A and B are shown apart, each in its own frame.
Chain A
């Protein structure tokens, strides 16, 4: 039981570490992989991958 709990906690910690702020609701499986509202992260990634940043400013109202 103790070992099972440990594995569950470890598993959830690993899941948190690996998680990205990609918005699944707007990130279609085969479409553009958008990061949700994380401009600094996008700038850093763009620099390391030698890309530009595309910011889709939208409204849901």
Chain B
């Protein structure tokens, strides 16, 4: 944790006054998060003493050195969202500036805002002299898909081989397909992703759990096979044993369901949900 580090303490304490805010518990936290549009945890907001946002860092990630350099830059007013927005005020038709703003919003997970600026990049650099077209097209399509218009993203991903775009885009598409109960399309997208990342046990569990939760009964056997492969790859993954157990129960195999849930409990004996799950399954619930 970078904030407990001695060097980080020295650097940050010299530039910032630090405040910890528990987003779920502290007084005024809800209002604060609404005012600054905080969308997830952890989010580190960097503010002027009048409350103006200078920039923010969303999520974990990056090395300690990179993190501290970012905080030094922001304290000096370099590369901040505010400095880019100020620049945009006088130079809105600069495509590179629009690109920097778009990237800044991507780093904040503010994909709607990012899509707006990527659209400007496409308009202002129609001949793709800066080489940002593919990235801009992806984020514009992603922005539309998040609003429910998935056609553009579907077309783009159908021919894309970029694993990053596929991972981000498939997540949004799967959510839309699931919401619309388009089971075949959702399963095809999962299968495509699993072919690209055959050892990704987290993705396997996501697929299997989606099948169980959505009650896609014609996919139970397929999901059991996928979850079974996942626990072979990672036998210490209690959550996947739990998924497998519920799938067996839903598919009418109580004996295997009990066996799988007992595995989950053996791996993580402190998780009460697995013990409760075992009781429910023994009682005939699926």
Contact = CB atoms under 8 A, between A and B. Distances in A.
A36 B21 CA distance: 7
Contacts of A28: 3-4, 9
A38 B18 CA distance: 10
Given A39-B28, A47-B49, A58-B42, A31 B17 contact: no
Interface residues of B, number: 42
Contacts of B51: 43
Given A32-B12, A37-B29, A54 B18 contact: yes
Contact of A52 (B8, B15, B29, B32): B15
Interface string B6-49: 10110011011111111111111100110000100111111111
**Secondary structure type dominating chain A contacts:** mixed
A58 B23 contact: yes
B13 A46 contact: no
Interface string A7-50: 00000000000000001001010111111111100111111010
B17 A49 contact: yes
B18 A32 contact: yes
Contact of A45 (B17, B20, B24): B17
A60 B22 CA distance: 7
User: For B17, B20, B47, which residue has the most chain A Cβ atoms within 10 angstroms?
Assistant: B17
B4 A54 contact: no
A57 B41 contact: yes
A45 B17 CA distance: 7
B92 to A, nearest CB: 27
Contacts of B46: 52-55
B97 interface: no
A53 B25 CA distance: 20
User: For A28, A34, A57, A60, which residue has the most chain B Cβ atoms within 10 angstroms?
Assistant: A57
Contacts of A46: 16-17, 47-49
Contacts of B8: 31-32
B73 to A, nearest CB: 12
B17 A57 contact: no
A51 to B, nearest CB: 5
B23 A59 contact: yes
Interface of A: 23, 26, 28, 30-39, 42-47, 49, 51-61
Given A45-B17, A52-B54, 19 more contacts: A28-B3, A28-B4, A30-B4, A30-B9, A32-B8, A34-B20, A35-B17, A35-B18, A36-B26, A46-B47, A46-B48, A46-B49, A52-B46, A53-B18, A54-B17, A54-B18, A55-B44, A56-B3, A59-B41
